[in-house]
Chain A
Amino acid sequence: MDLSKDLVAASATPLILAILRQKDSYGYEIIKMIKEASDDEIIWTEGMLYPVLHRLENSKLVESYWKMSKEGRRRKYYRLTEAGRQELEKHAKQWELVYSVLSSAIIAAKSRKDDEDV
């Protein structure tokens, strides 16, 4: 299932923040985690992820540090800041709201259709 462009753009920030809430991570791993968590449905491109990450860093929602990997490679890790945590809460509430309105509207539409069928 392909997500629409608008939805990808709107969901990128909360998804990244949520992943960094679990643990500090780096770009390649974030893409992999999103891919796995969505059963290969959501596949982000690097051209989309890194600009968002850097924008989040600029607005101090995440911060970065360099760490050596096991293979002796320098990686840029991102960590959620306190401001990022609050931002994630806000996003989560908004998404819950949208989701609950959407699902109740769909349920209502379904039951109406059921009524008509009878």
Chain B
Amino acid sequence: MFELEQHVRSWGDYLRSKGMKEADVLELESHLLDQIDDLVKSGLSEEEAFIISVKRLGNVNTISEEYSKINTENLWKHLLLDPADPTAKARSRKQIALIILLSFLAGTAAKIPAMFGIQTQDVVYFKNLSFFVLPFIAFFITVKHGRVKMFWPLLAVYTTSCVVVNLLSPYRPSQTDILTGVHLPLFLWLVTGIAYTGQEWRSSKARMNFVRFTGECVIYGSLLMLGLMVLMMFTMIIFQSININMGPFVENYLVVYGGAAAALITVYLVEAKKSVVENFAPILAKIFSPVFLLTMIAFLGAMVVKRTSPFMAREFLIGFDLLLVVVLGIVLYTISARSVYDKRSIFDYLNAALIAVAIVVDCVALSAIIFRLSEFGITPNKMAALGENILLLVNLAALLVLYARYFASKIEFTLIETFQTRYLTVYAVWFAIVAFVFPIVFRVKW
């Protein structure tokens, strides 16, 4: 069955991704549909009509090129959507109102622990951080996509997690608390992904969209946080000049409410204006993949020449794990930004090389962890690191094999995407184990 609506939408999304204004895309979409109607009336099937109409609308690239000549206004101006028709305008105004309300609620929720005398620096607070933000994000996304029904089961997951995590008393010296604090948000973010993908959360396409959404959120979120920090700095400085100490205010209110608002605005912006970042994020990934590749190769080379193991101190070990996560992120983003129909390019080979080098680094890190485990005994931290390194290794190795088969023209690129999106479930399960099971297991004295 040919899904006309869906095809027209993806065509429009392509124009959007080329930086065309929303109003212009809508205009061309209605043009396309008019043409299809006429062709169908004259006896063609919907599919034939769609193909012919798209062809007739000409090379989309030249159209968007034409558009870019007249739409020379600054791209950033379009960030806060200005829809051309009144219904869309009303809808976007409602969304902004909802975002303001939810930001306020999220900020207030983040103030609740203070009533029980829990400081923001406390580990318990850190552990619960995700509950102040993610439910509100999930609520906004489900409302925006018109599936509020999906919010309630998610809320149940958040609530249960919150109860479970806070009932489990930590393993001394509260190591598992920090582990939970790190892994719980990751797990819950993947759960929040269900709000984003909706019923199709199993489909690889929907998951890839969520990966893209995540990457865009990181970029927008960093920008907003940077702005927030600048605001805080100036607030402190200008009030200090008249001998008023704004420290407590900034710490107690601006950080909390500002942070909550930044998170929700990020989600709103990414949802509202996908096109701008979709043009930007692939560029970032492309710039940094060769640079990271060179850095890692240089490091491995230097390590071999100097014959020193870098992993004797545990801080470095954590640093390397972070590096691997960033590399995987770059690899993932390059994959997600790539259209399935693209031809093989130099960046595919670069991506594969990056994976190969990351595997070597991962093996070095793994051997160091195993060494530390056998030397200093089992601790929750080391077990978590071990698990993550093994998961990363499997992921990277499988990607490398799939890339090799793709270069040999044995498989389609889609298979790489399918594998990677399925593997996300494995991460979700592991994050949940570290967050929920570790505190139980490690309460038993070894």
Contact = CB atoms under 8 A, between A and B. Distances in A.
The yes or no verdict on A and B being binding partners is yes
A114 B86 CA distance: 65
Interface stretch (A16-24, A71-79, A92-100): A71-79
Interface string A56-82: 001000001010010101111000000
Contact of B58 (A27, A28, A46, A71): A46
A77 B325 CA distance: 50
Contacts of B33: 73
Contacts of A74: 26, 30, 85
Label chain B's interface by main secondary structure. helix
A28 B58 CA distance: 14
Interface stretch (B63-71, B159-167, B265-273, B295-303): B63-71
Nearest to B34: A28
Contact of A28 (B24, B31, B62, B86): B31
Interface residues of B, number: 25
B27 interface: yes
A69 B70 CA distance: 27
A76 to B, nearest CB: 4
Given A45-B58, A46-B57, A76-B23, A51 B67 contact: yes
B128 to A, nearest CB: 45
Given A71-B37, A76-B23, A76-B84, A51 B69 contact: yes
A76 B34 contact: no
Interface in B1-52: 23-24, 26-28, 30-31, 33-35, 37
A54 interface: yes
A58 B57 contact: no
A55 interface: yes
A54 B70 contact: yes
Given A46-B58, A47-B58, A58-B70, A73 B63 contact: no
Contacts of A66: 84-86
B85 A55 contact: no
Nearest to A54: B70
B77 to A, nearest CB: 15
A51 B120 CA distance: 55
B62 A47 contact: yes
Nearest to A67: B85
B67 A76 contact: no
Interface in B109-142: none
A54 B28 CA distance: 13
Interface in B63-100: 63, 66-67, 69-71, 84-86
Nearest to B26: A74
Give the interface centre of A45, A66, A71 by most chain B CB atoms within 10 Å.
Answer: A66
B27 A50 contact: yes
Given A28-B34, A66-B85, A47 B63 contact: yes
Given A50-B24, A66-B84, A76 B30 contact: yes
A26 B23 CA distance: 14
A64 B34 CA distance: 18
Nearest to A46: B57
Contacts of B86: 66
Contacts of A28: 30-31, 34-35
Contacts of B27: 26-27, 50, 75-76
B84 A50 contact: no
Interface in B343-380: none
21 contacts: A26-B31, A27-B27, A27-B31, A28-B30, A45-B58, A46-B31, A47-B58, A47-B63, A50-B27, A50-B67, A51-B67, A51-B69, A54-B24, A54-B67, A54-B70, A58-B70, A66-B85, A73-B30, A74-B26, A75-B27, A76-B23
Interface of A: 26-28, 45-47, 50-51, 54-55, 58, 64, 66, 69, 71, 73-76
Interface of B: 23-24, 26-28, 30-31, 33-35, 37, 56-59, 62-63, 66-67, 69-71, 84-86
